[in-house]
Amino acid sequence: MRVQVVSCVFPPVPLVSGRTSSELAEELHRRGHKVEVITSYPSRPAGVRYDEYTRSLFGRTVTETGWVLLRCWSIPSSQSTLTSRLLENVSFGLTAALCALFTPRPDVIYANTWPILAAGLLVLLSKLRHVPVVMSIQDLYPESLIVQRRLRQDSLLVRAMRWLDGQVVRGCAAVVVISERFAEVYREERQMPSRRVHVIPNWADRDLIDVGDSGASFRAQQQIPEDVFLVVYGGNIGQAAGVETVIQALGDARVRHERLCFVAAGEGSRLEHCRLLAARLAGDRVRFYSPWPLEDTSRVLRAADVLVLPTQGQQSLVSVPSKLISYTLAARPVIALAQPESDVANVVKQAGCGWVVPPERPDLLAQGIRNAMELDPHLLDRLGQAGRSYALAHFTREACLPRLIHVLEAASAVSEREESRV
């Protein structure tokens, strides 16, 4: 096959969906397919272009393994606002579609792009060129904007976005969603035929986390004694992350006098706000490790006694944070602040790797941390190991990547049969 991968994020951007696009391209090339990747110049998570990359309209390179990488100019989103995200979405959608128009016609397109607008432009172009598209759905839109209180549930714009999203996905040969809840939305609300909806979660390399690393070196670097109970968050410190709830919990009377510390590793639009909140409520009991280099993933997560995964409001119903994968692979217990019917809560319960408390309840989180502190360390270790076993079975390259390639090959084969009949 000739496969075109259109991915709005791509390495060196440290986001899981970018890494999965890269691994898909590598594996397709290894299997003998011709691969071309169209992506943006890197700017996430801070929304600032990386200094080492040029800022031309388009850039073309051939990777060391032999597949083609095309980068397109877009407007980076340095703020978590609707306008900023919209400009990033549309600008990448336009340049990616323009780039795709002047490349050799592929047999199939894998689209991991910004939702609705950028995705719609690509699907429209693919229809004109008679190329099947397999669309990756990483978040639910406009539902995600509704739970972030950026749009009203009953607004005309929301109805228009839902209608347009349905039109876009029904124009695809298949959609790949990262959870069963997402699949229900696309089957029932977007009216996508069930046979064209495939649940394949994001994944990580099974060796992403070195479980032989105790995290002692990170504790020493941060001057955190071994007898201090360490709670760690690792990921984007943005609008939907809810890191503020964890900081508020550290100031709660239930844990105020405990030997307890919280480390937030990462960067994002709410980082400075969280720094100010921590200084006011929790003092030196809260540390920030920013930026957080990818190579430090093991030592940061393994340093934790408990990993915390906060979300805000209904956010856990419309997205599945990729950090859940690295958390479970780290073999540390997880406290998730999520809606009880969410995919996040279901994973924690099915894996038996921790606890679920309601979002935006620092009082309940503080009590949950206190309860975890009182458990035998061996029990905490068993909970962490249960999470890792679940992750190895469900969230690894070996478990997920062959299924995704099968979907692409099937979409290409159906297109070829239809063309032969014409």
The domain limits of the chain are: 2-203+396-421, 216-394
Instruction: Name the pLDDT band for 417 (thresholds 50, 70, 90).
Output: low
pLDDT for 353 equals 98
Strand-strand pairing, 58-62 and 68-72: antiparallel
Cβ-based neighbours of 233, under 8 Å, separated by 6 or more:
241, 243, 246, 262, 263, 264, 265, 266, 307, 308, 309, 310
Q: Are the folds of 2-203+396-421 and 216-394 the same?
A: yes
Cβ-based neighbours of 27, under 8 Å, separated by 6 or more:
401, 405
Instruction: Name the pLDDT band for 421 (thresholds 50, 70, 90).
Output: low
- What integer is the mean pLDDT of 153-171? 96
What percent of the chain lies above the pLDDT cut of 70?
A: 98
**Mean pLDDT of the chain, nearest integer:** 94
pLDDT for 54 equals 76
Handedness of CA 164, 43, 125, 25 (dihedral sign): negative
Flag whether pLDDT at 420 surpasses 60: no
Pick from 179, 99, 102: nearest CA to 137: 179
Q: What is the DSSP letter of 139?
A: B
Task: Out of 75-79, 122-126, 205-209, give the one with best mean pLDDT.
Answer: 122-126
Flag whether pLDDT at 80 surpasses 80: no
Return the higher-pLDDT residue of 54 and 341.
341
Pick from 140, 142, 145, 137: nearest CA to 201: 137
What percent of the chain lies above the pLDDT cut of 90?
A: 84
Flag whether pLDDT at 115 surpasses 60: yes
Domain 2-203+396-421 class in CATH: alpha beta
| Angle between the N-to-C axes of helices 271-281 and 243-250, in degrees from 0 to 180, rounded to the nearest 10 | 10
Q: State the pTM of this model.
A: 0.86
23: left (phi over 0), alpha (psi -120 to 50) or beta: alpha
Angle, CA of 225, 228 and 229, to the nearest 5°? 140
Cβ-based neighbours of 55, under 8 Å, separated by 6 or more:
41, 49, 73
- What integer is the mean pLDDT of 359-372? 96
pLDDT for 294 equals 84
Flag whether pLDDT at 136 surpasses 60: yes
Flag whether pLDDT at 177 surpasses 60: yes
- What integer is the mean pLDDT of 187-197? 96
| Sheet of 174-177, strands arranged across | 58-62, 68-72, 34-40, 2-7, 108-112, 133-137, 174-177, 197-199
Characterize 99-120 residue by residue with b for buried, 16 or more Cβ atoms within 10 angstroms of its Cβ, and e for exposed: bbeeeeebbbbbbbbbbbbbbb
Instruction: Name the pLDDT band for 9 (thresholds 50, 70, 90).
Output: very high
Q: Write the DSSP assignment of 115-138 as a string of letters.
A: TTHHHHHHHHHHHHHT--EEEEE-
Quickly tell me which residue has 């297109």 as its tokens. Answer: 415
Name the 3-class secondary structure at 308.
strand
Tell me the CATH number for domain 216-394. Answer: 3.40.50.2000
Flag whether pLDDT at 139 surpasses 60: yes
